């Protein structure tokens, strides 16, 4: 079976290598990112102090501070007053709304939805999905279908496509046994950290199968959110389509 994804997002261009004349703090930031990617410091763990890193890289403490500030702005690390700087982790989202969750209730009073995984199956990547994930057509992928319930009612139906090579051993039973967000599951169980994403949003009409899962009428307006999610080095590791009911809910985005 080939995994197809209608309305594909345009491919994200890989960043060019940093030129040699990049500011020193950005060069240090790049070195720290390589250490994070290599899991020298694991999610949730503290990184060395500014003084230690300054000694390690033979730069000033101020340069290290600017590099860490840049990492924090990219949500790669978290500063904690009086405690130090820690590698950011999705597992902390068990007590807060996940950073990537953008569907909100119109009346406010946001609570984290409950995730129900419906199915996990293996497939072969069609050309559009392969392009988005940096794979070859026909490469093995995993396709997950899950529902997000808000206050006990289904609101979002997700189809999530992942490179099978990065998620060996992912099963429905393994996911169901995990307590936490899906991105926390990917991070803690498979070492794949979702760092940023590109999304395309448009209106669609519910087909019969989707309407049945979401408890709405055929033809009802839905919000289709197509996402490509990236890990370190801007490598794509997830293609996702979320179909969201629009009655009582909206998509929220913060612009800076």
**The predicted structure's pLDDT at residue 99:** 74
For the beta carbon of residue 150, count every other beta carbon within 10 angstroms: 19
DSSP 46: B
Query: Where do the DSSP E strands lie in 29-113?
Result: 77-80, 84-87, 103-105
Domains and their CATH numbers in the chain: 24-88 (1.10.10.10), 93-251 (3.40.1410.10)
Cα(31)–Cα(181) distance, rounded to whole angstroms? 29
pTM over 0.85, yes/no: no
| % of residues, the chain, pLDDT over 70 | 89
Mean residue pLDDT across the chain: 88
Q: How confident is the model at residue 17 (pLDDT cuts 50, 70, 90)?
A: very low
Predicted local confidence at residue 87, as pLDDT: 92
Residue 219 pLDDT exceeds 80:
yes
Q: Which has more confidence, 180 or 52?
A: 52
Nearby residues of 78 by Cβ (< 8 Å), 6 or more positions away: 72, 85, 86, 87, 88
CA distances from 207 to 3, 5, 221 (A): 18, 15, 10
Tens of pLDDT, residue by residue over 86-125, are 998 887 655 455 677 788 888 876 777 899 999 999 999 9
pLDDT single digits (tens) 30-47: 999 999 988 899 888 999
Q: How confident is the model at residue 11 (pLDDT cuts 50, 70, 90)?
A: very low
């Amino acid at each position: 079976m080939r995994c197809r994804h209608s309305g594909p997002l345009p491919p994200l261009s890989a960043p060019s290598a940093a030129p040699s004349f990049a500011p020193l703090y950005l060069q240090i930031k790049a070195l720290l990112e390589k250490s994070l990617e290599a899991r020298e410091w694991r999610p949730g763990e503290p990184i060395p102090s500014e003084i230690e890193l300054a000694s390690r890289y033979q730069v000033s403490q101020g340069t290290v501070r600017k590099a860490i500030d840049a990492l924090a702005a990219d949500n790669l690390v978290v500063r904690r007053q009086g405690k130090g700087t820690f590698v950011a982790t999705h597992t902390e989202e068990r007590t807060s709304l996940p950073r990537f969750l953008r569907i909100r209730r119109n009346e406010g009073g946001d609570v984290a939805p409950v995730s129900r995984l419906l199915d996990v199956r293996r497939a072969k990547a069609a050309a559009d999905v392969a392009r988005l994930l940096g794979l070859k057509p026909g490469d093995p992928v995993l396709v997950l279908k899950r529902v997000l319930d808000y206050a006990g009612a289904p609101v979002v139906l997700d189809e999530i496509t992942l490179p099978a090579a990065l998620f060996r051993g992912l099963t429905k039973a393994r996911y169901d046994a995990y307590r936490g967000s899906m991105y926390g599951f990917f991070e803690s169980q498979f070492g794949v950290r979702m760092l940023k994403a590109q999304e395309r949003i448009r209106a669609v009409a519910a087909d019969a199968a989707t309407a049945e899962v979401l408890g709405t009428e055929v033809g009802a307006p839905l919000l289709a959110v197509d996402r490509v999610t990236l890990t370190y080095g801007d490598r794509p590791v997830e293609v996702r389509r979320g179909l969201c009911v629009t009655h009582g809910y909206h998509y929220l985005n913060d612009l800076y």
